[in-house]
Structure 1
Amino acid sequence: MLPVFESHHALGILSGRGTYVNVGLFGGELRAPLAVLALRQLTIKGSFVPSETRELIEFFRAVTIKSIPISTAPISQLNEGLALLCAGKIHGRQKAVYDAH
Structure 2
Amino acid sequence: MSTQRAPIDVEADLTLTIDGQPIAIESYTDTVLVDFPSVRALVAVARTERGRLPSLERLLSEADLTVVVLVDGTAVGTLGARARPQSRRLPVEVDAGGTLRAAVAAPLRFFN
TM-score range for the pair, normalised by the shorter chain length: under 0.3
Larger radius of gyration: 1
TM-score of the aligned structures, taking structure 2 as reference length: 0.21
TM-score, normalised to structure 1, is 0.22
